[in-house]
Amino acid sequence: MSTIDYSSAIPNNVNLAEDRTLQRALEQWQPNYLNWWNDMGPDGSRDFDVYLRTATSVDPQGWAQFGYVKMPEYRWGIFLNPAEKERKIHFGDHMGENAWQDVPGEHRANLRRIIVTQGDTEPASVEQQRHLGLTAPSLYDLRNLFQVNVEEGRHLWAMVYLLHKYFGRDGREEGEALLERRSGQQDNPRILQAFNEPTPDWLSFFMFTYFTDRDGKFQLCALAESAFDPLARTTRFMLTEEAHHMFVGESGVSRVIQRTCQVMNELGTEDPAKLRAAGVIDLPTLQRYLNFHFSVTIDLFGADQSSNAAMFYSSGLKGRYEEGKRWDDHRLHGDSYRILQVRGDALAEQEVPMLNALNEVLRDDYIRDSVGGVSRWNKVIEKAGIGFRLSTPHKAFHRNIGSLAGVKVSPDGRVVSEQEWSAKVGEWLPTPSDRAFVTSLMGRVVEPGKYANWIAPPMVGINRQPMDFEYVRFN
């Protein structure tokens, strides 16, 4: 006897109601998923009614159904973008051949690894953020946190669908393991390091959703080009949700800046101590948080030279960002790319085969994209008549992977001595006292229409709701 009403409980466009094999796999997995959500999902939130959007189909109206939901009852669905007729592989050594509707034996292990690595980041971020609800600066922000969390949960479903549908028994085992690893846990951590760092406060959360969810966007964009068509279609749909996560980050940081600038003007001061005493986050502290999240996130793209990256591309598993809009031959044999290395006591460019540098290509695309929001943040500061400007640090700053790992480079791109690094690091990265100060601001504001002192209200409500809308009802 089936325990799940497939058509309504699990909105989907993968014909789940007819697919007995997939049903059986999900019947096993879903209770464990719910246990994981109850253990590791947003702290103490089980009975809250939250104004959430739920994807019920892939057309524009269908993926944004708003209504009050208790999160454990959220309808995590399975959606793929509609199939493109006779889609062809459009890069790598199989270019021009039909896209794969099933997993080719020779690529099975690598595809599984790619899907598991992507899937692992989704529950990891929910775990990293699970205590933030206790200190939300408003109901609006609390709702946005929960929206991001349930959608990361759905992204896990998306990857588990692929594992269940296309990878048989080892796919099912990987699906279970995704529920067993824990962010930050010593003996069974999440796969990627940035997803084992805590997200201890709301400034970190906004920086994370701006910078690290954007890494998600770029990884998903690269996978959306894949020759393995179900992966391409799944990740395309995930990107529609990712846009909101980055909006939460960009607008969140922007509102923090707006509030700080307002107090700077009211008090006529730039003095961090005075601003802190007034309960807002000074701009140099924001810059240090930005430096931290940017540098930790660009490490996620991997080593600047990687034979795996070359193989993933040539075999069609993973393309480049916007592969279809590029003018080259989409095979890249014989092409080269410049990466950064340290030579003596300076940074120098080195030409390497393009195929081996594809992680760096994606990282550079990411960097170009992420500076956009920073210049929009600067507009807020400029509009307030204040001279300070935020900037992304040099890409060699505070790196932990590839040829720049461990090299001491200042945010403006100078190789510095160990001595200078230790003397200045407190100006470049958040210090324990910065973090303690930001933590001290985190209080819980749950009265509709009210906002914590350190952040400005948003411009408009979610789904055009009024400013005092009750986004979360506590029961």
Q: Which of 18, 23, 32, 33 is nearest to 3 (CA)?
A: 23
Which is closer to Fe ion, CB of 155 or CB of 288? 155
Which is closer to Fe ion, CB of 174 or CB of 213? 213
Q: Whose structure tokens read 């200042």?
A: 410
Question: Segment near Fe ion (CB under 5 A), from 83-91, 209-217, 403-411, 464-472?
Answer: 209-217
Which is closer to Fe ion, CB of 213 or CB of 364? 213
Q: Is 213 in the site for Fe ion (CB under 5 A)?
A: yes
Decide: 100 and 111 in contact? Cβ < 8 Å. no
DSSP string, 321-390: TTGGG--S-SS-TT-EEEEEEEETTEEEEEEEEGGGGHHHHHHHHHHHHHHHHHHHHHHHHHHTT-----
Question: Segment near Fe ion (CB under 5 A), from 45-53, 145-153, 350-358, 414-422?
Answer: 145-153
Is residue 39 classed exposed, middle or buried when 0-12, 13-18 and 19+ CB atoms within 10 A define those classes? exposed
In the bound complex, what is the minimum distance in angstroms from residue 284's beta carbon to Fe ion? 28
> Which residues inside 429-448 make contact with Fe ion, applying CB under 5 A?
none
Size of the site for Fe ion (CB under 5 A): 7
Contacts of residue 411, Cβ cutoff 8 Å, sequence gap at least 6: 291, 391, 393, 394, 397, 428
In the bound complex, what is the minimum distance in angstroms from residue 132's beta carbon to Fe ion? 15
Helix spans in 211-331 (H): 213-223, 229-267, 272-277, 283-298, 307-314
Question: Segment near Fe ion (CB under 5 A), from 35-43, 121-129, 303-311, 363-371?
Answer: 121-129
Distance CA 394, CA 221 (A): 24
In the bound complex, what is the minimum distance in angstroms from residue 155's beta carbon to Fe ion? 4
Distance CA 129, CA 208 (A): 10
- Interface with Fe ion (CB under 5 A), residue from 53, 155, 172, 394: 155
Distance CA 367, CA 9 (A): 39
Q: Is 217 in the site for Fe ion (CB under 5 A)?
A: no
Question: Segment near Fe ion (CB under 5 A), from 240-248, 272-280, 294-302, 334-342?
Answer: 240-248
In the bound complex, what is the minimum distance in angstroms from residue 152's beta carbon to Fe ion? 5
In the bound complex, what is the minimum distance in angstroms from residue 321's beta carbon to Fe ion? 17
Decide: 240 and 204 in contact? Cβ < 8 Å. no
Which is closer to Fe ion, CB of 240 or CB of 308? 240
Which is closer to Fe ion, CB of 152 or CB of 323? 152
Which is closer to Fe ion, CB of 13 or CB of 219? 219
Is residue 402 classed exposed, middle or buried when 0-12, 13-18 and 19+ CB atoms within 10 A define those classes? buried
In the bound complex, what is the minimum distance in angstroms from residue 70's beta carbon to Fe ion? 22
Distance CA 214, CA 369 (A): 9
Decide: 55 and 79 in contact? Cβ < 8 Å. yes
Which is closer to Fe ion, CB of 7 or CB of 193? 193
In the bound complex, what is the minimum distance in angstroms from residue 242's beta carbon to Fe ion? 5
Is residue 378 classed exposed, middle or buried when 0-12, 13-18 and 19+ CB atoms within 10 A define those classes? middle
Q: At what angle do helices 358-383 and 307-314 cross, to 10 degrees?
A: 100
Q: Is 245 in the site for Fe ion (CB under 5 A)?
A: yes
Which is closer to Fe ion, CB of 242 or CB of 360? 242
In the bound complex, what is the minimum distance in angstroms from residue 380's beta carbon to Fe ion? 24
Which is closer to Fe ion, CB of 158 or CB of 261? 158
Q: Which of 125, 127, 141, 146 is nearest to 50 (CA)?
A: 146
Which is closer to Fe ion, CB of 152 or CB of 201? 152
Question: Segment near Fe ion (CB under 5 A), from 24-32, 78-86, 235-243, 315-323?
Answer: 235-243
Cα 177 to chain centroid distance, Å, stands at 21
Q: Is 127 in the site for Fe ion (CB under 5 A)?
A: no
In the bound complex, what is the minimum distance in angstroms from residue 238's beta carbon to Fe ion? 6
Question: Segment near Fe ion (CB under 5 A), from 56-64, 102-110, 144-152, 188-196?
Answer: 144-152
In the bound complex, what is the minimum distance in angstroms from residue 225's beta carbon to Fe ion? 18
In the bound complex, what is the minimum distance in angstroms from residue 76's beta carbon to Fe ion? 13
Decide: 306 and 358 in contact? Cβ < 8 Å. yes
Give whole-number Cα distances, 393 to 44, 217, 294, in Å: 37, 20, 8
> Which residues inside 380-409 make contact with Fe ion, applying CB under 5 A?
none
Q: Is 282 in the site for Fe ion (CB under 5 A)?
A: no
Which is closer to Fe ion, CB of 155 or CB of 259? 155
Given the rule CB under 5 A, which residues bind Fe ion?
Answer: 122, 152, 155, 213, 216, 242, 245
